[in-house]
């Protein structure tokens, strides 16, 4: 309530607006913390393409609630994105990129030259960097770390031979690399990928490495699941996203079976 001056110099308190008295405050509500979240996304360059991997679990706080949330999606025929963080914000980003792709196609000089009118992966990455930084400056960030994979574009609009892999976080920080991991994967999976990575890896080797990392994340990350998706971008085949499938797991390791309470510790596993 605000103070107002009455005739005679006496001060009194002005009554609040009706909406405030009823407990309803108008205005835009910002996301102060993510609620329904997905965990790590892994990315790797290999000979002839780029590959991303992620599980399909979205946790509602600490509850593993939604087990078919697909966080890898194609933007166009040569660009793929995957994201960890708030799932609703990922849906917002996906809708925004698809709307831009449709607008580019509808305003192109020729509808028969679709490949030449599509944004390449580097352009999508730069655009997302601006979007994330803009939302951060408005104190209403999109709570995601977005991995962008695909191919660059030649001057004549054709697809380049050089693959692209970059990441943008929720405050607009962006960088490129040959291997990337978001979320908890940046602590557990990234060191393993650095140890095993080679620039001349074949597609099968890259997929096996990503599956091994996802399996270890399932063992060690409380927000991970062994139901995963793999997606790739190649020059010839474009974007391909697999259906979800389950990884085989092995729980007979001695460290998983031994009760640590027997070793004089606090009784935990």
Catalytic residues: 31
Cα–Cα–Cα angle for 203, 144, 38, rounded to 5 degrees: 70
Residue 145 burial (10 A CB sphere; 0-12, 13-18, 19+)? buried
Least Cα distance to 230 among 247, 250, 218, 217 occurs for 247
CA-wise closest residue to 242 among 61, 71, 2, 32: 71
CB contact at 8 A, 79 and 119: yes
Task: Centre a 10 Å sphere on the Cβ of residue 10 and count the other Cβ atoms it contains.
Answer: 8
């Amino acid at each position: 309530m605000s103070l107002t001056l009455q005739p005679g110099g006496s001060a009194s308190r002005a009554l609040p607006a009706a909406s405030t008295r009823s407990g309803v405050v108008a205005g835009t509500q910002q996301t102060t913390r993510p609620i329904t979240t997905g965990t790590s996304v892994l990315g790797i360059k290999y000979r002839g393409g780029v590959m991303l991997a992620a599980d399909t679990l979205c946790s509602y706080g600490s509850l593993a609630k939604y087990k078919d949330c697909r966080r890898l999606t194609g933007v166009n025929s040569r660009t793929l994105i995957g994201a960890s963080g708030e799932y609703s914000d990922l849906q917002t980003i996906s809708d925004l990129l698809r709307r831009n792709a449709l607008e580019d196609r509808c305003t192109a000089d020729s509808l028969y030259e679709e490949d030449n009118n599509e944004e390449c992966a580097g352009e999508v990455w730069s655009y997302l960097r601006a979007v994330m930084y803009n939302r951060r400056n408005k104190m209403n960030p999109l709570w995601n770390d977005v991995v962008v994979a695909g191919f660059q574009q030649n001057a004549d609009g054709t697809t380049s031979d050089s693959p692209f892999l970059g990441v943008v976080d929720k405050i607009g920080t962006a960088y490129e690399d040959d291997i990337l991991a978001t979320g908890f994967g940046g602590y557990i999976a990234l060191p393993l990928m650095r140890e095993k990575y080679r620039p001349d890896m074949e597609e099968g080797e890259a997929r096996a490495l990503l599956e091994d990392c996802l399996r270890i994340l399932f063992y060690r990350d409380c927000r991970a699941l062994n139901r995963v998706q793999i997606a790739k971008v190649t020059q010839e085949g474009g974007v391909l996203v697999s259906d979800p499938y389950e990884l085989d797991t092995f729980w007979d390791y001695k460290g998983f079976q031994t009760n640590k309470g027997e070793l004089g510790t606090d009784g935990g596993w």
